[in-house]
Structure 1
Amino acid sequence: MMRLALPLLLLLGATAGAQGGARRVAVVPIQAVSGDMTSRSGPRLTERLMSEVRGAGGLSLVTPPLEEPPPDRLAQARAGVKEAGTLRQQRDFAGAQGALDKALEGFASLASSLPNGNELADAYALRAAILYAQGKDEAASRDLVFALTLAPGRTLPLAASSPLFAQTVSRAHAALREQPRGSVRFASAPLGVAVTLDGQPVETTPVRVTGVPPGLHLWRTVLPSGEVTGGLVEVASGREAVVTIRPPGEGPGAVLAAALAGNRLDAPAVDAAVALGQTLRADLLLFGTVSLTEETGLVFDSFILAPDTRAPRRLPRITLDAELLDAGPRLRGLTSALASQGAQAGEPVALPVSPASQGAPEPRLLQVQYPVVERSEVPATPAVSAPSRAPLTPRKPLVRP
């Protein structure tokens, strides 16, 4: 999963003051404020800004040091499931449960990397079988329900390994169908992102999905920045679960990115920007949003902040075409103003403020039905209608002399 909140921060050096010292500026990736911007406008605009900074006199672009790639947690989770299966065959149920506990934690943290819930469902089914073997029937029943709801309409492979477990799965499935269903409401920053639930699309946010079977479900979405995010949501009978989708990541960079994606700049967002600037030892932070309008195409709203002042200033709004063909001269003017004026560029703003203009109303909350159609476990045998008359006596074959 891509992490754009901090790794793509750009450090710019600009000459400042009579003594010719360098003014350090951190540029935060530009955030799109609506889900209909499918061309990755934010990252593309950030790259164009980088290009203009590289070519600007008196400015130098400095990138942060490369970080070590994270360990392959998905491979670790899969290895944990395999280890649990081996320990179960050796009747080491406690060891198998411990291995599965770690594996399921890994799968949950990587939900956005899973194309569907099949692997999770198999892991929960295996843990259910292990818990049943230890007499922990209540916990086992819960895990078995999770296995069924994570991969609806799919036969659990583990059920074929034991007639007794197959009967248990069948009873759990029948009981699940009798329970009252719940709902899931998806909200997001930015608005209008397309969501999938259990592998099926459910319209764009904000949206409420009704008729959801009680249990655990996998959701996933792609943000306008190109980042893929997702997770698990537990639904209870007759209750509504709420999922709020934000740009992924941790720390002050992620907090600032989430605020900008929601088209707001308030005190907590400024505090996050200050902390980010102090961590990077930057003199100035440059951040903003890109929005889409029918009249002008793209609109770039940006701010500059000196961490020691905690007072953001709005830079002049820039209009661009959707393909950024005219971005060069306009971004060049912005970086030139920043190089010459520094922290005095732009105009002061009073918090809270909406970076992008509020021309379009907030989308109406959509309501859709749960999109997965469950298949029956055993296909019904078609009934053969009784013949309306007796069959004709077959003719004798013609024998030539």
Structure 2
Amino acid sequence: MEGAAAPSVDAAKEQAKKIRRAERLVAQGDEAAGQLKFDAAASRYRAALKIYEQNLAALEDPAPLVEVRLKLATALFRTDMEEEGERRLAEVVALAPEIELDPARYPPLFLRTFEGIRDKLLRLPRGAISVLSTPPGAAVYLDGRKVAETPALLTEVVRGPHYIRVEAAGVPPHVTRVDVDPKEVARVEAQLGGALSGEAAPLVAALAENEVDGKVVKALATLAKRAGAEFVVFGSIRKGEDVYDVKSFLYSRKSRKIAALTDIAFDFDLLGASIEVYKLAGEVAEAVQAFPSPLIVPAPIFPGVRAQKAKLTEVVAGPPVPRGPVAGASPAGAAPPPASAAAPAAPSGPVQPASGGPAEPVARGPVAPAAGGPVQPAAREPLTTSRGGPVAPVPATGGSAAAGPVRPARPV
């Protein structure tokens, strides 16, 4: 899966400007929500989310992606757009399954709706993400939490959107969004630098599997188009018992076909290598004039040689499955609640996604009422970024939510 490309210095500055633009949009949404203009607020929050997702490499922590979704959900429930509101709440759960909403800011109906969505989503079948990198050994962050090093297979990942960040010292990170589906394993391949990076990296990675297949053809088509070339010569080399065996191929951009060229071999001292390469160059010159019989794809490069697959370290990266009966949201079609149960305005306090730490999140404790006072949320650690720093609080909206009916959420 493709991710955010490593930005140049100028590109990084441009991305930083766009992130500041998204932050201004969030502030404008908060202001509109404070004035009870929830349609305008939802529009600002959607625009901010879009900018964030287009500039993931500039976000060191995914907290803003969680916060803006929660703000958007609150606005949607006030504009009779419950279906999208429920979907946004489900995305919040996928990204931050241990998040706690402040009862002082949200009415009971909204809290029950959120808890019902969370409980049901966490019980559904989950998916997995394989994460590879060149070179291997890079740190893997899932939604801001460091969970593994490459190569890794992240299992028990809650279905829905997630953000993978792959980091290695001295090179820009690889950041991408992954939409997890339990029916298939999502793949992330990060090119972080070294000999296998650059425009030819996808081709080199495909050839490393010792097979000319559809991935090789796709990589060749991209490479030829970028270079403006009609033909591409490529190949693979392996060390035999006493020689280097070289397999060479010719790709035609026009026909999207591949032809095998004559095999050659060099001794370990490379004596006679220049002669063999000269012969190969002559064969290529003839082949571009009269393209040889195409290779039937897929085909092995070195028959009888098995490619060494990267051994993935399996890591359970999702939260525990809830125990006990399902916490259901109010069924669709139920009578609307009284005006006092109106949906909240955009929250003024920070949302609390799972803090950086081990893949297995900390279980939530019971909610206990304080003596002689309102119910208090279970104690939690303060929200921190994946680098250990604090997350800035969400701005206050500066207004109160107007009374009005809220349609109960449909079950997820």
- The 8 Å contact of residues 230 and 253 in structure 2, kept in 1 or not, is answered as yes
The residue that corresponds to 1:149 in the other structure is 94
- Tell me if 1:378 matches 2:378: yes
2:67 to 113, 122, 136: 122
User: Is 1:163 aligned with 2:105?
Assistant: yes
- 1:355–1:101: structure 2 CA closer, same or farther, 3 Å change rule? farther
Residue in structure 2 matched with residue 90 of structure 1 by the alignment: 35
- 1:182 is paired with a residue whose SS is coil
Q: Which runs of 5+ in 1 are unaligned?
A: 8-65, 321-325, 381-401
Structure 2: which amino acid aligns with 1:378?
Answer: A
Matched, 1:265 2:208: no
Deviations 1:313-333 (A, max 9, x none): 45757899xxxxx99x99999
Partners of 2:53 and 2:311 in 1: CA distance: 31
Tell me how far apart the structure 2 counterparts of residues 306 and 340 of structure 1 sit (CA, whole Å): 17
Structure-1 separation of matches of 2:128 and 2:306: 25
Distance 2:237 2:137 in 1: 15
Kindly report which structure 2 residues correspond to 1:354-369, keeping only aligned pairs within 5 A, or say none. 354-355=300-301, 358-360=305-307, 362=309, 367-369=314-316
CA RMSD of aligned residues (A): 5.4
Instruction: Tell me by how many angstroms 1:120 deviates.
Output: 0.7
Distance change >3 Å, CA 166–CA 254, structure 1 → 2: farther
Change (3 A) 1:143 1:275: closer
Counterpart of 2:127 (choices 156, 174, 184) is 184
Q: 1:339 to 1:183 in 2, by over 3 A?
A: same
Q: What amino acid sits opposite 1:244 in the alignment? A: R
Check conservation: 1:302, 1:355, Cα contact below 8 A.
no
User: CA, structure 1 residues 330+135, in 2 after alignment: closer, same or farther (shift >3 Å)?
Assistant: farther
**2:392 aligns to what?**
none
Name the CA distance, whole Å, in 1 between partners of 2:273 and 2:190: 25
2:118 alignment partner AA: L
2:178 aligned residue: 232
Q: Greater CA radius of gyration, 1 or 2?
A: 1
Aligned residue number for residue 132 of structure 1: 77
Whole-Å Cα distance in 1 between the matches of residues 280 and 172 of structure 2?
Answer: 29
Q: Contact 2:72/2:88 (CA < 8 Å) preserved in 1? A: yes
Structure with the higher helix share, 1 or 2: 1
Percent identical among aligned pairs is: 19
Distance 1:201-1:330 versus aligned 2 partners, 3 A rule: farther
TM-aligned CA distance change 1:116 to 1:209, over 3 Å: farther
Distance in 2 separating the partners of 1:165 and 1:333: 81
More strand by share: 1
Contact 1:117 1:151 in 2 (8 A): no
3-state SS in 1 of match to 2:77: helix
Could you say if the C-alpha distance between residues 307 and 171 of structure 1 is closer, same or farther in structure 2, counting changes exceeding 3 Å?
closer
CA distance in 2, matches of 1:317, 1:166: 75
Q: State the 1:219 CA deviation.
A: 2.8
Counterpart-to-counterpart distance in 1, 2:306 and 2:5: 30
What TM-score, normalized to structure 1? 0.53
Q: Which residue of 2 aligns with 1:352?
A: 298
Tell me the TM-score normalised to structure 2 length. Answer: 0.52
The secondary structure found in structure 2 opposite 1:128 is: helix
Structure 1 residues 176 and 253, CA gap change in structure 2 (3 angstroms): same
* AA matched with 2:213: D
List aligned pairs for 1:325-340, cutoff 5 A. Answer: none
Secondary structure at the residue paired with 2:162?
Answer: strand
Kept after mapping to 2: 8 A contact 1:286/1:304:
yes
The unaligned stretches of length 5 or more in structure 2 are 192-198, 318-358, 365-376, 381-412
Q: Is residue 127 of structure 2 the alignment partner of residue 207 of structure 1?
A: no
What secondary structure does 1:104 align onto?
helix
1:379 partner amino acid? A
Map of 2:229 onto structure 1:
282
- Partner Cα separation in structure 2 for residue 74 and residue 319 of structure 1: 56
